[in-house]
Amino acid sequence: MNSKSAKLILQNEVKDPTTNVHEPLSNKYASWKILDYLWACHIEKQKSYEYKEWLLNLYKEANMSEEELIAFSSEVDLIIKAIERCHLQLNK
């Protein structure tokens, strides 16, 4: 999957009225979509701060509170670091 496809999937996920945007990583389906997006962006060598910013803005526009956004941002940072480390290990 490429990042453009992953973005569209996430946008549709967030627009779905049945989606709980307040804790996206607690939902296994939403979390896989987020992971797919982050992985695709990393593999395409995009800058992590840019794709993280896009993701946070997506959820902010979906009415995620500031407190939730701060927590989500920290979780996304951890995931990005884990992806970067895994990718380094795979390429050794």
Residues 82, 2, 25, 28, CA torsion sign: negative
Q: What is the pTM of this model?
A: 0.92
pLDDT band per the 50, 70, 90 thresholds, residue 72: very high
Closest-CA residue to 64 (of 29, 14, 16)? 14
pLDDT band per the 50, 70, 90 thresholds, residue 34: very high
pLDDT of residue 27: 86
